[in-house]
Amino acid sequence: MIEIDARGLRCPQPIIELGKKISTMNTGDEVTLLSDDPATDPDLSAWSRMTGNTYKKISESVFLVTKLSER
């Protein structure tokens, strides 16, 4: 399982790190994003809509992101 530990990073850094990682992954792959930034949850929702990927909130600071699109 791929993991990005973005705890302690403030927006937009967690989403930038996620974007970098996901561009190297294959469609259908999953990545766990650890982030305690309060903007990450709402921004993952917008990011998923804008990029065509999807995510599930596992806990307050753990998000499971699935790559569904080419970006």
Partner 1 sequence: MVRVTGNFQSESPLHPKAFEVLHAAFESGWANPAKLSQFGAQARHLKNNALESIGAALSIAAETIVPISPTSLGYFLGIQGLLANSSTLIHGSTDRKDVFAISQKIAHHLLHSGLDGKLHSDKTKFTSSVLALHIANAETGVLQDCQQIVTDVNPDYIFLDATTSGVRIPLMDQFSSALFDSQSWYGPSGVGFLVVKNPSEWSNPLPHINAAHPNLDVSLPLVLASAVAIENFSAEVEGANIQAREFNRQLRSAFSQLADVDIAGSLEASLPHMLSASFLNCNGEELLREIQNDGYSVDSGSACTSDNLEPSHVLAAMGVLTHGNIRITIHPHTTQSEIDGLIASVIKNVDRQRS
Give me the least distance between CB of 39 and partner 1, in Å please. 4
φ, ψ of residue 20 to 5 degrees: the values are: -65, -45
Give the binding-site size for partner 1 (rule: CB under 8 A).
17
- Tokens at residue 52, please? 């065509």
SS3 helix, strand, coil % of the chain, rounded to 5?
30, 30, 40
By the rule CB under 8 A, 58 interacts with partner 1: no
By the rule CB under 8 A, 50 interacts with partner 1: yes
| Residues contributing to the site for partner 1 (CB under 8 A) | 10-12, 15-16, 19, 37-39, 41-43, 45-47, 49-50
